[in-house]
Amino acid sequence: MDTKKLRQKILDLAIHGKLVPQDPNDEPASVLLERIKAEKEQLIKEGKIKRQKKSASSDTSHYGNNVPFEVPEGWVWCRLGDIAYVAAGSTPSKECFVEHGIPYIKMYNLRNQKIDFDFHPQYIDHKTHTESLHRSMTQVGDIIMNIVGPPLGKLAIIPNDLPEANFNQAAVLIRPLLYKNTLNKYIFRYLEQMSEINSISTKGSAGQVNISLSQSQSIRVPLPSLNEQKRIVEEIDRCFTLLDTLEQNEYDLKEAIQKSKSKILDLALSGRLTSDTSHYGKNEETFSGAELGDVCKLCDGEKIAGKDYTNLDVKYLRGTKSGDMLHSGRFVPAGSLMILVDGENSGEVFTTPVDGYQGSTFKILDIDAKYCKEFILLLIQSNRKSLRENKVGSAIPHLNKKMFKEIVVPPFSYNEQCEIAQTVKDYFCVLDSIVG
């Protein structure tokens, strides 16, 4: 079940007014909007907020036909700046950071649509918080949205356990002008849907994209009545809670399956998974005392130039991007085995789908033909956890080649190795079929 798509569908229905029924007895959203506008004017008059630029106005002339979709009767289109105070974050000088003080939220603290301040916490002094950075002082219930990416649109609502905080320039604060505890939840879910954010023209350099403060203030919002906002948020929360349960159950199942696979590997490599292997004949060669370094060579392809081949890097082999063409490199034929020797996933093995040039983080894995290839790959797989935990190198972790070469090869004959590999494959196919 693709719960991510289901969540998106629920949000789509919500913002189009199709998730919950409208109630004709609800106060029209136009009345709500006028009330919020009046509050905004009063706050401007009192000097508590500044008047925004004309571009953030919700005058009818500003819209014309420029709305993403038709809204239900009783709803109204407005701009985010019409219903909320929208302010940019600030950047203090290095001297303002202290060991203990006011929590300073950075974008890596926006995790899974919540504030995770335990993740690399930083603090600024109280004077900086209240004086030079006063415009970015947060309150409980404020929405924080990142505007520098990728990705854009990470969101979080300031929780009760963070009553005083500040945040950096890569985000904006969104504080509803009235009915904060209702409107903030609706705005949060609307922005979470991402369609409006994705429609905004972004600019940046070196792959960076960003939304300006004025663009943030001008975000179009389909506004229902206050009561309908409550019904929408309650229904989204109910649906998402059900999906959370489904995801947790799926996670638990996948974790159980992974543990089963590890157990199957342990049994297989100790000879306890397959049938009695004595029928293979007493004269069949077994490989006693061998280590992986005796069985596998880590080598490079032959250097060639002047011919275009695919760059066999990790993203291409994982299927996350199409292959770039190179004009020279170390040639690797299709069907070869390559092992990652650099990076967090060192020890992972791939089969090359096409002729290509060896990626810079790989070595060719050349297995002695006297051994069953599939069996040796299972042996490497069973040691992946140890290899990951014992990488070498500081800046860039590398495969511990000494440890890799010293892995002991169980003393099975070639035919025994093949039987074990096939049995494990059959078990794994059954387990994989459970989760689709």
At 115-166, the pLDDT tens digits run 999 988 999 999 999 999 999 999 999 999 999 877 888 999 999 999 999 9
List Cβ neighbours of 425 (8 Å cut-off, separation of 6 or more).
Answer: 374
**323 shares a domain with 190:** no
**151 shares a domain with 294:** no
Percent of residues, the chain, with pLDDT higher than 70: 91
Residue 301 domain-assigned? yes
Strands in 155-157's sheet, in edge-to-edge order, are 84-88, 171-176, 143-146, 155-157
CATH number for position 63: 3.90.220.20
Contact present, 357 and 332 (Cβ < 8 Å) = yes
Cα–Cα distances in Å, from 422 out to 115, 371, 418? 48, 14, 6
For 380-412, the pLDDT digits (tens) are: 999 998 988 888 876 678 899 999 999 999 989
CA dist., res. 413 & res. 297, Å (int) = 20
**178 shares a domain with 35:** yes
For 225-274, the pLDDT digits (tens) are: 999 999 999 999 999 999 998 888 888 888 898 899 999 999 999 888 87
List Cβ neighbours of 253 (8 Å cut-off, separation of 6 or more).
Answer: 434, 435
Helix (H) or strand (E) holding 98: strand 97-98
**307 shares a domain with 188:** no
Residue 144 domain-assigned? yes
CA dist., res. 336 & res. 398, Å (int) = 21
Q: Which of 224, 247, 263 is the last residue of a domain?
A: 224
**210 shares a domain with 135:** yes
pLDDT at 282 over 90: no
Q: Which of 224, 256, 274 is the last residue of a domain?
A: 224
Q: Give the model's pLDDT for residue 207.
A: 58
Residue 12 domain-assigned? no
**185 shares a domain with 61:** yes
Mean pLDDT (whole number) for 307-322: 91
For 26-50, the pLDDT digits (tens) are: 999 999 999 999 999 999 998 888 8
Helix (H, G, I), strand (E, B) or coil at 211: coil
- C-alpha radius of gyration, the chain, whole number: 30
Q: What is the mean pLDDT of the chain?
A: 89
**293 shares a domain with 220:** no
Q: Which of 196, 224, 252 is the last residue of a domain?
A: 224
Residue 105 domain-assigned? yes
**294 shares a domain with 210:** no
pLDDT at 199 over 90: no
**306 shares a domain with 220:** no
Q: Which domain holds residue 391?
A: 287-410
Residue 326 domain-assigned? yes
Amino acid (1-letter code) at residue 355: D
> What confidence tier does 56 reach under pLDDT thresholds 50, 70, 90?
very low
> What confidence tier does 24 reach under pLDDT thresholds 50, 70, 90?
very high
CA dist., res. 363 & res. 257, Å (int) = 30
pLDDT at 57 over 50: no
pLDDT at 64 over 60: no
Contact present, 220 and 79 (Cβ < 8 Å) = yes
Mean pLDDT (whole number) for 303-320: 92
**211 shares a domain with 326:** no
Q: Give the model's pLDDT for residue 65.
A: 61
> What confidence tier does 335 reach under pLDDT thresholds 50, 70, 90?
very high
**309 shares a domain with 177:** no
Helices marked H in 115-221 — which ranges? 126-130, 180-193, 195-199, 213-217
307 or 65: whose pLDDT is higher?
A: 307
Residue 69 domain-assigned? yes
**293 shares a domain with 185:** no
Q: What is the tally of structural domains in the chain?
A: 2
